[in-house]
Amino acid sequence: MGTLMKYEIKKSKLLLFITFGVVLITELAWLIGFYGKIETLSIIATILLVCFGVISAFIGMLFSITLYNDDLKKKSGYMLFMTPRSTIQIIASKVIVSFCITVALVILLSLCGMLDFSLFYKSTDPDALFTQILKPIANTFKENPGTIILIIFNLIIQVFANIAIIYAAIALSKSVLGNKKGSGFIAFLFWLGFTIVISLITSFVDKIVANNSTGFEFAFTNDGLSLSMPSQTITVFVLALCLNLVFSVIFYGITIWLTDKKLSL
């Protein structure tokens, strides 16, 4: 499995180099802007870093899809599928590598965000309105780091449930639907349908457990206002996480079965 993962990383090293390089250059630009008092540079870098944060999950998804789809679409897939490795190992290596890439990207962006935030926060006037707005966020990092970790972890698992559905949709379009007209469209509907189903089930869980009242609570701490999660919201988050994990396993199972038994390169 380690050997398979090594080659999955080698395949995506150019894309990895570009993605991580762009993030690091943007962070460097922010630091130059901050210490050099170049406001325009800081603002542009901040906007870019926020954008990267928002799309980091999609970048992870893109990595994952590329790793699987390219090997089915291009002749180079022969090289991989000719090796004496089981389909479970081949798919798992792609999933683990894309998971590690996503987590690494999220960690890098989080570290950049925390560094920039603390530098900026320390440099502002404590009584300024802007500082007062940022204070609850800073306090949440200090008082409830578990909340932040749960939110990030939930996001990553959601992304992977989505990747699992996309993998199954790709496998479906290249196998049993392979020679049928509109196979791509049917695969798209498959992905859309199950994404909606998972979303509806999550809403249903929210309704049963918390009567659709999940959200954040504001709590007063020694440092002022802080955000926290009420226990009902945590329950809903954990249940949604478990649900996404179950769907991930089911759809990876479908992908492996279709790839192993039905898919011709």
Partner 1 sequence: MLQFNQVTKGYGEKKALDGLTVKFEAGKVYALVGPNGSGKSTMMKSAAGLVKLTSGTLTFKGKPIGVESKKHIAYMSTEPFYYDYMKIEDVGKFYKDFFQDFDSQKFASLLQFMELTPNLKVRALSSGMAAKLKIAATLSRKADLIMLDEPLNGIDLIGRDQIIHSVIQSTGNGATFIISSHLFDELEPIVDNVVMMKKGKVILQGELEEIRMEYGKSISDLYREFYSDTAMPDSMINGGK
Asked if 37 is part of the footprint of partner 1 (rule: CB under 8 A), the reply reads: no
Q: What is the closest distance, in whole angstroms, from the C-beta atom of residue 81 to partner 1 in the complex? A: 6
Distance between CA atoms of residues 134 and 128, nearest Å: 10
Number of residues that bind partner 1 (CB under 8 A): 27
Distance between CA atoms of residues 253 and 3, nearest Å: 22
Burial class (CB in 10 A: 0-12, 13-18, 19+), 234: middle
Distance between CA atoms of residues 189 and 187, nearest Å: 5
Q: Which of 5, 7, 31, 110 binds partner 1 (CB under 8 A)?
A: 7
Type of residue at 158: Q
Asked if 91 is part of the footprint of partner 1 (rule: CB under 8 A), the reply reads: no
The residue among 82 and 129 lying less far from partner 1, judged by its C-beta, is 82
The residue among 123 and 264 lying less far from partner 1, judged by its C-beta, is 264
Choices 6-14, 106-114, 129-137, 225-233; region in contact with partner 1 by CB under 8 A: 6-14
Q: Which of 10, 73, 142, 207 binds partner 1 (CB under 8 A)?
A: 10
Burial class (CB in 10 A: 0-12, 13-18, 19+), 231: exposed
Phi-psi region of 225 (alpha: psi -120 to 50; beta: other; left: phi over 0): beta
Q: What is the closest distance, in whole angstroms, from the C-beta atom of residue 75 to partner 1 in the complex? A: 4
Q: What is the closest distance, in whole angstroms, from the C-beta atom of residue 206 to partner 1 in the complex? A: 42
Site for partner 1 in 40-79 (CB under 8 A): 75-79
Q: Which of 11, 93, 187, 241 binds partner 1 (CB under 8 A)?
A: 11
Distance between CA atoms of residues 67 and 106, nearest Å: 19
The residue among 93 and 144 lying less far from partner 1, judged by its C-beta, is 93
Choices 2-10, 94-102, 209-217, 245-253; region in contact with partner 1 by CB under 8 A: 2-10
Name the token pair of 8: 């999955």
Distance between CA atoms of residues 71 and 77, nearest Å: 4
The residue among 1 and 200 lying less far from partner 1, judged by its C-beta, is 1
Asked if 3 is part of the footprint of partner 1 (rule: CB under 8 A), the reply reads: yes
Asked if 94 is part of the footprint of partner 1 (rule: CB under 8 A), the reply reads: no
Q: What is the closest distance, in whole angstroms, from the C-beta atom of residue 83 to partner 1 in the complex? A: 4
Burial class (CB in 10 A: 0-12, 13-18, 19+), 221: middle
Cα 253 to Cα 64, 98, 112, 259: the distances in Å are 16, 17, 36, 10
Binding site for partner 1 (CB under 8 A): 3, 6-7, 10-11, 13-14, 75-79, 81-86, 175, 178-180, 261-265
